[in-house]
Amino acid sequence: MNWQLFLDSLGPIARDGLTGSVPLALISFALGLAIALCVALMRISRRRVVSGIARAYISVIRGTPLLVQLFVIFYGLPSVGVTINPWPSAVIAFSLNVGGYAAEVIRAAILSVPKGQWEAGYTIGMSRTLTLRRLILPQAARVSVPPLSNTFISLVKDTSLASLILVTELFRQAQQIAAFSQQFMVVYLAAALVYWVFCLVLSAGQVRIERRLDRYVAH
């Protein structure tokens, strides 16, 4: 094994991870959460049409591979006259995907809040919307942190798919180094190590967030 190439590859790969993969994941996750919250609220709506639309969206997203979604946006849309550059295409695909999965997480978190909290809000004169915003969502947020954190960690790894539409990120850099050196095993092991370190750091951050939120829970 070429250890020198392994070590030399770590720097460029990590750099493109920090400047490409991580920002791509952060932006996509933030937009995905906004989509997920809207879809989750639609999902628990008393109106069947609204709930049905949300259910259909979740079904499509969860029932099709992320790679297919990415290709539909980048390669499929130009056939109907809509051309989107690689980076925005990746953001759109990842955001929609996160929205579909995170919507069910948020919906489950909302439903986990005791019904007495709704009644308490109504008792003091709050509307359904105000009760949801001030009482239900803050409690649901704490419950949803662990699964949503796992979703973000998975998203960081899934950004490697963006290399297939020529987005410059961690795995794209690894592919270029591997193609130039013809040392595929060495370079891809270096990429795997960088992904692993990123995930370890994110997991440590997840634990800290959970501990901080746990302070506000009565035991």
List Cα–Cα distances, 199 to 8, 11, 21, 132, in angstroms: 21, 17, 12, 33
Q: Which domain holds residue 179?
A: 3-214
Q: For the chain, 219 residues long, give each residue's pLDDT as a single digit of tens.
A: 778 888 889 999 999 999 999 999 999 999 999 999 999 999 988 899 999 999 999 999 999 999 999 999 999 999 999 999 999 999 999 999 999 999 999 999 888 888 877 777 777 878 777 887 778 888 888 888 889 999 999 999 999 999 999 898 899 999 999 999 899 999 999 999 999 999 999 998 888 887 776 665 544
Q: Is residue 98 part of a domain?
A: yes
Q: Is residue 219 part of a domain?
A: no
| Domain count of the fold of the chain | 1
Structure tokens given for 28: 């996509």
CATH of the domain at 57: 1.10.3720.10
Q: Is residue 164 part of a domain?
A: yes
Instruction: Enter the pTM of the model.
Output: 0.88
Q: Is residue 101 part of a domain?
A: yes
Spatial neighbors of 22 by CB under 8 A, at least 6 apart, are 156, 198
Q: How high is the pLDDT of residue 218?
A: 43
Q: Is residue 124 part of a domain?
A: yes
Q: How high is the pLDDT of residue 154?
A: 93
The maximal CA–CA distance of the chain, rounded, in angstroms, is: 70
Q: Give Rg (Cα) of the chain.
A: 21
Q: Is residue 71 part of a domain?
A: yes
Quote the distance between the C-alpha of residue 97 and its chain's center. 7
Instruction: Give the DSSP letter of residue 19.
Output: I
With beta carbons less than 8 A apart as the criterion, state whether 182 and 195 touch.
Answer: no
Structure tokens given for 89: 């295409």
Q: How high is the pLDDT of residue 196?
A: 95
Which helix H or strand E contains 88, and what residues bound it? helix 86-112
Q: Is residue 167 part of a domain?
A: yes
